[in-house]
Structure 1
Amino acid sequence: MQGPFNRDGRRKPMGEINVVPFIDVMLVLLVIFMITAPMLTQGVQIELPQVTSEPIDSDDDNEPIVVSVDREGEYFLMVGGDEIQVGLDELSDRVLILLDRRPGSPVMVRGDRQVPYGQVVNLMSTLQVAGVANVGLISEPPPRD
Structure 2
Amino acid sequence: MLLIIFMITAPLMSHKVKVELPQATLEEKPEITQPPITLAVTANGQVYWNDEAVTRDMLDARLAVLAQQTPQPQVDIRSDNITKYGVIHEVVQNVRRAGIRKVGFVSTPER
Normalised TM-score (structure 1) = 0.51
Percent of aligned pairs with the same amino acid: 25
Tell me the equivalent position of 1:76. Answer: 48
Deviation >3 Å, runs of 4+: 98-102
Residues 58 and 72 of structure 1: CA distance in aligned 2, closer, same or farther (over 3 Å): farther
**Runs (5+) with no aligned partner, structure 1:** 1-56
Q: Aligned residues, how many?
A: 83
Alignment partners' CA distance in 2, 1:134 and 1:101: 12
Residues 130 and 103 of structure 1: CA distance in aligned 2, closer, same or farther (over 3 Å): same
Q: Does 1:67 align with 2:39?
A: yes
Question: Could you tell which deviates more after superposition, 99-108 or 89-98?
Answer: 99-108
Matches within 5 A, 1:30-109: 59-78=31-50, 83-101=51-69, 103-109=71-77
* RMSD, aligned CA: 2.0
SS state at 1:141 partner: coil
Q: Give the structure with higher Rg (CA).
A: 1
**Runs (5+) with no aligned partner, structure 2:** 1-28
Shift of 1:64: 0.2
